[in-house]
Structure 1
Amino acid sequence: MKIKRRSPEAFFYEGGKTGMLLIHGFTGTPSELNPLGRFLHKQGYTVHAPLLAGHGTSPEDMISTGWPDWWRSVQEGYQRLKESGVEEIFAVGLSMGGCLALNLARTEPLAGVVPLCAPIWLKDKRAHLTGLFHYVMPYQKRGGGKPQHIEDYLVAYDRTPLKCVASLRKFIRYLRPRLPEVKVPALVVQAEKDETVIPKSASYIYEAIGSEVKDIRWFANSGHIITVDKERERLFAEINAFVKRVTESNELEAL
């Protein structure tokens, strides 16, 4: 099998007046969002995927960061896209990136938000103990790999800093009671074969957000890294259709 080209670097594809901010997941990189980014750019959008603080380098770099640092990276990415001259911005986030996108939706005037496999509840029950364990065991070795068609796009650490898992859980606890403050149009997406996030997280997010315009989509044959899994073409089409519906609705309201 031919291995796809991987890069942990941020990317920016200049296009039209609608901007798409793509936010990667915990210990991930923009690489896992690049197929989506290239697709959206071909549809005429300006696309930016920032690299979150502590990611794409080493576990030793990441362990000194926490959710306020990752949030700051998202704010900087939003600002860069805004300053590029786009007229509206949608945020699409994978996993933790979906939570960061939802937080951005409640603090900035986004045109819409698309959380993909965003966690409210994590499947690994050990995550609840990381607040204690990280003092005696700073890292947890990465488990078994993903299927090759997913690994081709991952730039993964061999160890996960447990202090950062604890910080992710703090961020989720911070976000949950604030979800009703999300008022922008939303498309909530969840993979039914998600091996990381308990799928009912998506239902919780859908019910909790305060958006009048919202929809939810389930993908029966996809895992957690949904952006590079078997149903990605359908996913990309759903995101594009959602953006078009919202932008066309906004144009009609402006008449």
Structure 2
Amino acid sequence: MKIKRRSPDPFFYSGGETGILLIHGFTGTPSEMRPMGNYLKRRGYTVYAPLLAGHGTSPEDMECTSWNDWWNSVLEGYERLQQEGVRRMFAVGLSMGGSLVLNLARTRPLDGVAALCAPIRLQDRRVYLVDVVRHVWPYLKRNGTKPTHIEEHLVPYDRTPLKCVSSLRKLVRHVRRHLSEVKVPALIVQAERDETVVPKSASYIYEAISSKDKTIRWYANSSHIITLDKERERLFAEVERFVSRIAGNPDFPSASR
């Protein structure tokens, strides 16, 4: 059965002994990671992109979840790849997914982690008022659409539960406090035209993690959903080079088995 590019469903591609876990962003779905997944599949990797709890269904479903539920979805995805018998495991996350994979890197054996446009600070200052206003205005309506080459892949909600925005902030604070515990090889990627995350977030993450092998890359012509934007092919190649360099280097013994 042919899967539409807008499908919110999780996807799994069986491949070689190196597994890559792809984690989508806040209110997003695996559809925003699918082009990267296809790229990595063609290069022989085993790839899994789970759907985080409360995502891809309805805002009402999402309102019943918190960051602990999203985190449990990541752990289930991690265990799925373990069960496939991969010998090496990497995690790549977009936006909130970047926060979640950084948390995974400090709490579970991983061979490497890539955080793409992961938040430390957010551009919209209204998020810092959500705990005050969410009891009066429980939802924030979606404002406009993305450019066509991005929008055609998305399965967006028409509104976002502010309760979940509050939980997102708790996740970001939790990850920020523990960044020094991230020690695995890391690739930090940031779009310079990010309309959602303050770009300096990437520099903060890069400086705070304890990884000896770490790289930061800036994308001058990309916006927040960098996995779908105009420089995505460069991004996919960069992620694949990072994975292949670590996976193929005997100086980096496997951490995931």
Residue aligning to 1:155: 155
Aligned pairs for 1:94-105 within 5 A: 94-105=94-105
Residue aligning to 1:46: 46
**Per-residue deviation, 1:243:** 0.7
Residue aligning to 2:107: 107
Q: 1:253 to 1:6 in 2, by over 3 A?
A: closer
Residue aligning to 1:36: 36
Q: 1:9 to 1:119 in 2, by over 3 A?
A: same
Q: 1:187 to 1:140 in 2, by over 3 A?
A: same
**Per-residue deviation, 1:253:** 6.1
Percent of aligned pairs sharing the same letter: 67
TM-score (norm 1): 0.97
The amino acid of 2:25's aligned partner reads G
Equivalent residue of 2:92, what SS? strand
Kindly indicate which of the two structures has a greater share of residues assigned to helix: 1
Residue aligning to 1:245: 245
The amino acid of 1:72's aligned partner reads N
Q: Give the unaligned 5+ runs of structure 1.
A: none
Measure the CA separation in 2 of the matches of 1:31 and 1:247. Answer: 26
Aligned pairs for 1:1-255 within 5 A: 5-250=5-250
Deviates more, 1:170-179 or 1:185-194: 170-179
Measure the CA separation in 2 of the matches of 1:218 and 1:193. Answer: 10
**Per-residue deviation, 1:63:** 0.4
User: How many matched pairs?
Assistant: 251
The amino acid of 1:99's aligned partner reads S
TM-score (norm 2): 0.96
Equivalent residue of 1:249, what SS? coil
What is the RMSD of the two structures over their aligned residues, measured on CA atoms?
A: 1.1
The C-alpha deviation readout for 1:87-136, integer Å capped at 9, x for no partner, is 11100000000000000000011000000000000000000011121111
Deviates more, 1:4-13 or 1:238-247: 4-13
**Per-residue deviation, 1:252:** 7.4
Measure the CA separation in 2 of the matches of 1:75 and 1:47. Answer: 15
Preserved CA contact (<8 Å) 2:246 2:252: no
**Per-residue deviation, 1:175:** 1.0
